[in-house]
Structure 1
Amino acid sequence: MRLIPPASLLAPLALALAGCSPVVERAPAAVEAGAAGPPATPAASAASAIDPTLVAKITEILGDNATGTRWVSVVDGEGAGRVALVYLTGMNWCGTGGCNLLILRQGPTDWEQVGNVSRVSTPVRVLNTATNGLPDIGVTVSGGGGPPAYEAKMAFDGRAYPRFPSDEPLIDAFGRVVITDAAIPPPAA
């Protein structure tokens, strides 16, 4: 059975995606001094607005929790390295340490879930590095009674991204911001 998101979820999603534009972040000046600059990476796009198979897969994953869930997705990469980052917000997906970030990889006919990361705050970045064919992802970790906010690197192990961000901060990594608080649709009125 295919679940179709209520129209009240699709309209804010389309508006949020239309306002998403990736921001290039540069490494700190100390790193830049000796570096030739970040390598080129594919531009992020709001493909979920035009990819019904991605919307259907996200809705299938959300199941009964689709009602009341707000989400924004960004598709990055090309070919076998194409992934969708889906930041979920709402009562079922967020706590004091952040919200869930679904990571899906595009297969030949459908999207496949390769990550469900907990304790993620925005911003979320796609880094200019990859592990096992999929991009490394920089996620902000904060709250939950833990240390001050820091960015952690999420690397694909060949089967999945880790469930929880690393306890090690990510330092001096080039990448692009792809999801911010501004991209998340407001609650339905």
Structure 2
Amino acid sequence: MLVALLCIGMPGAASAGAGTYSCGASQPIPASLDRLLDAQGVEPTDRLVALADLDGDGRRDALVYLHGSDWCGSGGCTLLVLRNLGKTWRQVSRITVTRPPIRLLDQRHKGWHALTVHVAGGGSSPQDVTLEFDGHRYPGNPTTLQTTPTMIGPGRVLIDAGPDGSPRCGR
């Protein structure tokens, strides 16, 4: 499983390039991804990026946790899943009301790794929810899904929460 964790605009992270900060990886995010996020109006300080091969094609896809005030509500923040097509990126999913930890699971569904996100607040009972790829996308609202601890298998935390609750790269 190819996984690289990269933080953008996170205090205390090592510099990996102009305006881009890296944690746990020696490569900055691809310039094409940086440009796409900039074009969508996502400030560098409002995003946390984890790169991992989600679909097994050998290219690192992106999970972008949007945590600025424009992207969050009482139930959590927005998570984008972007597929790496080589020179371009395609949005696979926009998942609202998510909170860290965000995990990449070993289990796959329709060829893509399953993910877990934490949901809480906004009327939701605190729980980890498993998101399975349906052949086109991941579910857009995890608060409508139910899970049990037995559904959460081995995996790796890509985006975690710091002691103050703010998002940070996983370990």
SS at match of 1:12: coil
The answer to whether residue 158 in structure 2 is matched with residue 160 in structure 1 is: no
Report which of the two has the higher share of strand.
2
How far apart, CA to CA, are the structure 2 residues paired with 1:68 and 1:54? Answer: 12
- Structure 2, gaps ≥5 residues long: 1-7, 15-20
Paired amino acid for 2:47? W
How far apart, CA to CA, are the structure 2 residues paired with 1:155 and 1:14? Answer: 33
Give the aligned partner of residue 18 of structure 1: 22
How far apart, CA to CA, are the structure 2 residues paired with 1:129 and 1:52? Answer: 30
- Structure 1, gaps ≥5 residues long: 1-9, 22-44
Give the aligned partner of residue 113 of structure 1: 91
How far apart, CA to CA, are the structure 2 residues paired with 1:115 and 1:146? Answer: 21
Paired amino acid for 1:175? G
Largest Rg, 1 or 2: 1
> Offset of 1:158 from its aligned partner?
1.5
Give the aligned partner of residue 17 of structure 2: none
How far apart, CA to CA, are the structure 1 residues paired with 2:121 and 2:49? Answer: 23
- Give the percent of matched residue pairs that are identical in Structure 1 and Structure 2: 30
> Structure 1 residues 54, 79: closer, same or farther in 2, change over 3 A?
same
Matches within 5 A, 1:138-177: 138-147=116-125, 149-165=126-142, 166-172=144-150, 173-177=153-157
Aligned length: 148
How far apart, CA to CA, are the structure 2 residues paired with 1:129 and 1:121? Answer: 21
Paired amino acid for 2:159? I
Instruction: Assess if the C-alpha contact under 8 Å between 1:13 and 1:71 holds in 2.
Output: no
Report which of the two has the higher share of helix.
1
> Structure 1 residues 46, 59: closer, same or farther in 2, change over 3 A?
farther
Q: Which has the higher contact order (CA 8 A, sep 6+)?
A: 1
Instruction: Assess if the C-alpha contact under 8 Å between 1:89 and 1:99 holds in 2.
Output: yes
Instruction: Assess if the C-alpha contact under 8 Å between 1:121 and 1:141 holds in 2.
Output: yes
SS at match of 2:80: strand
> Deviating runs (4+, > 6 A) in structure 1?
none
The TM-score normalised by the length of structure 1 is: 0.67
**RMSD, aligned CA:** 2.8
